[in-house]
Amino acid sequence: MCEIYGFSGERKRELNNDLRQFYSHSSEHPNGWGLALFNKYNTEIIKEVCRADKSELLTEKLQRPLKAETALAHIRLATIGNEEYDNCHPFLSVDISGRMWTLIHNGTIFESDNIGKFVFQQKGETDSERILLYIVDSINKETARLGRELTAEERFWLLDTIIRNSSPKNKLNLLIYDGEILYAHTNFRDSLYYRKDESGATFSTRPLSEGKWENVPFTTLLGYKDGERLFTGTNHGNEYFFDPSSYTPLYMLWIFRAYNKKLSESDQIRAVENFKNSALYDIDGTALLTDNAEKESLRTAGMRVLGELKAFYGESEVIAYQIRKLAESGARYAEKVRDRFKDDYIQQLL
């Protein structure tokens, strides 16, 4: 997936040692990098579509002291969205009060109507950008309802509700900064750690060499200001587990983006019905007609579509599982049922 890093302190801290080690992991996450440095009177945000340890710009930056009161860093392994600048983290958005929000994400959104609807408003293609757009839209609506800017406590509890409601079946390792509060959340076990020392609080997907690192409190939104925890949210308990059924929403989103059109409700229903009924078919003996009026077996067509999905999303455990299931004879659930119950499996409602 990706790796994320964050720091919150009362005063500026030099981050070079942390960042050098963090970006050294980029051989495993080669599809882009980003860095945001926040200080009282200035903000610096850099993103590039290249492997971090191959970046001349990053090498030059790390040759001088990089100091910040708050910082976010990201290295990307593309899962949703192509290798493009608009898909690199961090993502930025400004709410109607003029507050700038910055987000980095390690994870995938499989199911969320509230987040998915922003697919037609975003600049890039990532689900991470859609999360930020949803958060800022929610902030704007609450600001308009109250007729004033939200307090830090009100912003925190609104985000707590958003993340609690968005976490079922979705992997949400997040670091978000609103110019005052650094928010941290994880619901995937052993994938976000923190270090607390006299300089502040540091977060990283993997423990870095210096200091004592502990797991970030699980399935709970945290809010830090000046290196100290200011807010602790609700423990929602929605731990993310790998779920092969998460493939369906990924497939539907790919249809929307790949064909650049909005499917009617009946088209969506038919697509899902065909997707589910395909388990009944002999995928080698059943053929379909392509757009070029050529015959293609279901297995061949399925592998072609999965190849396009992989090219669109990048490396994905959900898509890799579907490829293995289709490529290996007898691996599909329907084939296993047929082998066990032979010709009687339909009569037994299996």
Domain boundaries, the chain: 2-235, 244-340
Q: What pTM was estimated for this model as a whole?
A: 0.75
Low-confidence winner among 15-29, 33-47, 233-247, 266-280 (lowest mean pLDDT)? 266-280
User: How big is the CA angle at 96 (ends 144 and 159), to the nearest 5 degrees?
Assistant: 75
Please list, in sequence order, all residues whose beta carbon lies within 8 angstroms of the beta carbon of residue 71, skipping any fewer than 6 positions away: 5, 6, 7, 15, 35, 36, 37, 38
- What is the residue whose two structure tokens read 């945000």? 45
Low-confidence winner among 100-104, 131-135, 250-254 (lowest mean pLDDT)? 250-254
d(CA 25, CA 201): 21
In this structure, which CATH number among 3.40.1350.10, 3.60.20.10, 3.40.470.10, 2.60.40.10 belongs to the domain 2-235?
Answer: 3.60.20.10
Mean per-residue pLDDT, 48-63: 96
- What is the residue whose two structure tokens read 């690192």? 213
Whole-number pLDDT of residue 350? 46
d(CA 26, CA 321): 24
Cβ–Cβ < 8 Å for 105, 134: no
Mean per-residue pLDDT, 251-280: 65
Percent of the chain with pLDDT over 70: 80
Whole-number pLDDT of residue 261? 59
Compute, in degrees rounded to 10, the torsion defined by CA atoms 236, 242, 244, 248. 50
Mean per-residue pLDDT, 145-162: 98
Query: Helix and strand tally (H, E) in the chain?
Result: 10, 15
Please report how many Cα atoms fall inside a 13 Å half-sphere around the Cα of residue 183, on the Cβ side: 29
Low-confidence winner among 4-13, 90-99, 253-262, 286-295 (lowest mean pLDDT)? 253-262
In what helix (H) or strand (E) does residue 299 lie, and over which residues does it extend?
helix 298-313
In what helix (H) or strand (E) does residue 185 lie, and over which residues does it extend?
strand 182-185
d(CA 324, CA 20): 37
Cβ–Cβ < 8 Å for 192, 173: yes
> pLDDT for 171-227, tens place per residue?
999 999 999 999 999 999 999 999 999 999 999 999 998 789 999 999 999 999 999
> pLDDT for 278-337, tens place per residue?
656 677 777 776 667 678 887 888 888 888 887 777 667 778 777 887 777 666 655 665
CA-derived radius of gyration, the chain = 23
Whole-number pLDDT of residue 315? 66
- Say whether pLDDT at 21 is over 80: yes
d(CA 183, CA 4): 13
Percent of the chain with pLDDT over 90: 59
Whole-number pLDDT of residue 234? 97
- Say whether pLDDT at 247 is over 50: yes
**Is omega for the bond preceding 90 within 30 degrees of 0, making it cis?**
yes
d(CA 134, CA 204): 24
Where residue 230 falls among pLDDT bands split at 50, 70, 90? very high
Cβ–Cβ < 8 Å for 144, 41: no
Mean per-residue pLDDT, 247-253: 69
- What is the residue whose two structure tokens read 């007609």? 289
Cβ–Cβ < 8 Å for 218, 189: yes
Residue 26, token pair as written in the block: 């980029």
